[in-house]
Chains A and B, each alone.
Chain A
Amino acid sequence: MAARIQIPSQAKQGEVVEVRVLIQHPMETGYRHDDVGHLIKRNVIKVLSCRYNGVEVFRADLSSGIAANPYVQFYTVADKSGELEFYWIDDEGKQGSERQSIRVT
């Protein structure tokens, strides 16, 4: 699962930083049928979470109402230099993760 993550590479302590996440995923709703009429099984990213130096700062429970290739944007406060770890899992159990480091001055 390809993903794009964008955070500022450095920030001042206490600064509010924007975090942008774009994940490539079909987000199959479970309501569609294939060409021969069989129901296509639901397969969406059900959880997306972000940990900042080990502490969870963001968590989203996605469902079938979210379009394919979901784009998520949120904000967090730059606290200490370190890493943001992103983790997600879909209905089929496929997991994805990404890491990005941030330098706080």
Chain B
Amino acid sequence: MSRAVLAVALLAFAAAAQAQQRAIPLDQIKSGSAFLGQDLRSLQNDDFANPGMLWVERGETMWRDPAGKSKQSCASCHQDAKSSMRGVAARYPKIDTASGKLLNLGSRINACRVDHQGAEPFRHESQELLSITAYVARQSRGVPVAASIDGPARAHFDAGEAAYRLRRGQMNLSCAHCHEANWGKRLLSETVSQGQPNGYPAYRMEWQTLGSLQRRLRACLSGIRAEMLPYGSPEYVDLELYLAWRAQGLPIETPGVRR
């Protein structure tokens, strides 16, 4: 009898833990574009006028241009990105089997440049890195986000969740206070989004240019008056993995258009 009660209690506890883990149920997750006005949404969906396509086009040229000591281009190994890169962006951040490190798509491209092309890595947030990342991610447009948090990725996922829930800065806010507890409500003239990462690299009106997810995270940190970590800091990549898990099933929209 008491064992049955204990089992029921354990089941209830497990269910509660599960529910707590996914604060926004999968059937309620919404892409950042759902919080935009009609004008920006149609700009994003217009393949000609979407300004992010300027970077995608440059990335397409870079894909075929030989680089580094090897004189090899991305296409030399990966051939046509339209088929070889389809769905790839949806699986990042991902553990790199060679180094054992958790890499986002941009770092993975840089690792390829260094290891296989014998070229210098692109600087964080450089036009080159944004262009090639946007081009590769564009091939996954419409593919549902499906980052793995199993095996060695699990520790990074836990660290990412801790970072997501950590109160920071002068305003003493965590990511969850806005994007989990108060999404859909108004913050001055804007609707608070769920903070989903599926449109990045995205063209932000505020920036008037294309920017990475890390740049967006830094903008959030600045907004809550917290210290901004340097680009490429592992804490960002852990957080990116947590965000990708949160966004599981949302279609990739790169290049997204955001406010």
Interface residues of B in 198-215 (CB under 8 A from A): 205, 208-209
Interface residues of B in 29-72 (CB under 8 A from A): 48-49, 51, 53-54, 57-58
- How many residue pairs link A and B with beta carbons under 8 A? The number is 31
**What's the Cα separation between A4 and B49 when bound, in Å?**
9
Given A2-B54, A4-B48, 16 extra CB contacts under 8 A: A2-B57, A4-B54, A6-B48, A20-B48, A20-B49, A22-B48, A22-B49, A22-B51, A24-B51, A26-B209, A27-B208, A68-B208, A68-B209, A69-B54, A71-B49, A71-B51
Name A's interface SS: loop
Interface residues of A in 1-58 (CB under 8 A from B): 2, 4, 6, 20, 22, 24, 26-27
A binding-site residues for B, Cβ under 8 Å: 2, 4, 6, 20, 22, 24, 26-27, 67-69, 71
Query: In whole Å, how far is A75's beta carbon from the nearest beta carbon of chain B?
Result: 15
| The residue from A2, A22, A69, A71 contacting B208, defined by CB atoms under 8 A apart | A69
Mark each residue of chain B from 208 to 240: 1 if its CB lies under 8 Å from any CB of chain A, else 0.
110000000000000000000000000000000
Q: Which residues of A contact B48 (CB under 8 A)?
A: 4, 6, 20, 22
**Which residue of A has the minimal Cβ distance to B208?**
A68
**What's the Cα separation between A20 and B57 when bound, in Å?**
16
Q: A26-B208, A69-B208 are in contact. Are A2 and B58 (CB under 8 A)?
A: yes
**What's the Cα separation between A20 and B51 when bound, in Å?**
13
**What's the Cα separation between A27 and B207 when bound, in Å?**
12
Q: Which residues of B contact A24 (CB under 8 A)?
A: 51, 54
**What's the Cα separation between A20 and B205 when bound, in Å?**
20
Q: Which residues of B contact A20 (CB under 8 A)?
A: 48-49
**What's the Cα separation between A100 and B258 when bound, in Å?**
31
Query: In whole Å, how far is A51's beta carbon from the nearest beta carbon of chain B?
Result: 21
Q: Is the CB of A4 within 8 A of B53?
A: yes
Query: In whole Å, how far is B179's beta carbon from the nearest beta carbon of chain A?
Result: 27
Query: In whole Å, how far is A94's beta carbon from the nearest beta carbon of chain B?
Result: 16
**Which residue of B has the minimal Cβ distance to A69?**
B51
**Which residue of B has the minimal Cβ distance to A5?**
B48
Query: In whole Å, how far is A66's beta carbon from the nearest beta carbon of chain B?
Result: 11
**Which residue of A has the minimal Cβ distance to B51?**
A69
Query: In whole Å, how far is B39's beta carbon from the nearest beta carbon of chain A?
Result: 12
